[in-house]
Structure 1
Amino acid sequence: RGPTCHRGTRSCFEPNAAELELGWLRRVLETRRDADPETSYTARLLARGLPRVAQKVGEEAVETVIAALDPAAGTETVVSETADLLYHLSLLLLARGVDASAVAEELRRRHRDARPAEEAP
């Protein structure tokens, strides 16, 4: 797909804050990917391979759900667990060579294609 905006960008609309933050996180992960595994959690986890990164995503997803459903858990706990999940999910995408913009585009496509009576997954 080529640019659709007069500015030569894919869209005339500015990227939303979530996309900007995920782009920032991706750049941080790319920088840390080649760091010393002795001093970088990111490098250490990537060195252990895709199965370990995927396992961490699963663990963090479960912890996020548990925090969200726990009436005693405060907002800070839910935010913290969600941040862990997004970090590990972003790392999984990096390990697989998938850019978060592809995920964002898929969500936009689903929104465009959804019928009004349907809910997007």
Structure 2
Amino acid sequence: MTDLGPLARLDDTIRARRTADPATSYVARLLHEGRAKIAKKLGEEATETVIAALSENDTALTAEAADLLFHLLLVLAERDIPLASVMAELARREGTSGLTEKAARPNALPRRDTP
């Protein structure tokens, strides 16, 4: 896998803290609260990232993007999906049109703008 620097180190840290004390670890606390709580936090961070993207404030967008990546890694860790699997999927898609790739997915979610 390509060296992902801080992202890979963050993933390692999250995975190491899965068994930490929820009283002293944010990661352990969210994992203790369960998948629904973690998914909700991911959704909140995604919304905050969208708001920051529309605000024209690069500092806010950078901070929210970091929060979003953190919570995405937490969701992956909770599901025991390695970051390497996500990177392999991105590598598989490389060089393929996004429209072509999306249309070829067997379990693609239906578009909201279609009846």
Determine if contact 1:26/1:90 at 8 Å carries over to the other structure. Answer: yes
Instruction: Indicate the structure (1 or 2) with the bigger Cα radius of gyration.
Output: 1
Q: Distance in 1 between matches of 2:8 and 2:43?
A: 22
Q: Secondary structure at the match of 1:106?
A: helix
Q: Percent identity?
A: 43
Instruction: Give the unaligned 5+ runs of structure 2.
Output: 103-115
Q: Distance in 2 between matches of 1:60 and 1:106?
A: 23
More helix by share: 2
Determine if contact 1:37/1:44 at 8 Å carries over to the other structure. Answer: yes
Task: Tell me the C-alpha RMSD between the 2 structures.
Answer: 1.7
Per-residue CA distance 1:49-103 (angstroms, 9 max, x = gap): 01110111000000000100113xx211111101110000000000001001111
Q: Distance in 1 between matches of 2:7 and 2:55?
A: 27
- The equivalent residue for 2:92 is 109
Determine if contact 1:22/1:100 at 8 Å carries over to the other structure. Answer: no
- The equivalent residue for 1:24 is 9
Q: Is 1:42 matched up with 2:33?
A: no
Moved segments of 4+, more than 2 Å: 19-22, 118-121
TM-score, normalised via structure 2 length: 0.79
